[in-house]
Amino acid sequence: MLKKRLGFILLLVGLLTVLLSTAVKAQELLLVDVEIPEGYQQLKQGDPILAETQIILVGNNRTDTIIDVLIEYMIKDKEGNLITKVSETKGGVVRIQTVKELQLPADLPMGVYSITTKASYKDIAGETSASFKITRNLGQEQFSSSFFNTRNLLILLLLGIITLIFLSAYQFWRIGRLYHK
């Protein structure tokens, strides 16, 4: 009777071990997060986009083995059409953090776009995206606007200097008149 119970307990422990090991393998996944810094959420035509990516390897029980993860960065328009794509492989144990600058085409029309980051390791994958906006290139208008502001400032400064000269001349003239009397 004791042998039967001991055998039954060993069988249950074996089954539990197998179930737990398959459950851990089933929970193995990649958590992917992409963020666009505040200064890069609204870009001018021809500006590069900056993406901060964080990948967490969940369910990886071996903390001494470096895992190579394929990271793909894809820029898409609002209809989902692919604009550009860049891939790289990074190694990590538990977490991989990257900052990637992607050059956008200079003739990219104004509008809302998204950067999608996909990370994959063996048959495990994770994907996320973030949006950004392309606005009109204001380089020439900003130059002309600042030029006019500078010109107005110089005119104001010149008028102030001329006013000071006239006021000083007037004061010298009054002092000279008082002195001669």
pLDDT in tens, 24-44: 444 567 788 899 998 888 888
Of 3, 118, 16, nearest to 69 by C-alpha is 118
Q: Tens digit of pLDDT for each residue in 107-160?
A: 888 999 999 999 998 888 889 999 999 987 655 445 555 556 788 888 888 999
Number of other CB atoms surrounding residue 124 within 10 Å? 16
Q: Inform me whether the pLDDT recorded for 12 exceeds 80.
A: no
Which range is least confidently modeled, 47-51, 56-60, 172-176?
Answer: 56-60
Edge-to-edge strands of the sheet including 49-58?
Answer: 29-35, 49-58, 95-102
Q: Quote the CA–CA distance of 104 and 136 in Å, as a whole number.
A: 14
Q: Helix, strand or coil for residue 50?
A: strand
Report the top-level CATH class of 27-137.
mainly beta
Q: Quote the CA–CA distance of 34 and 94 in Å, as a whole number.
A: 17
pTM over 0.75: no
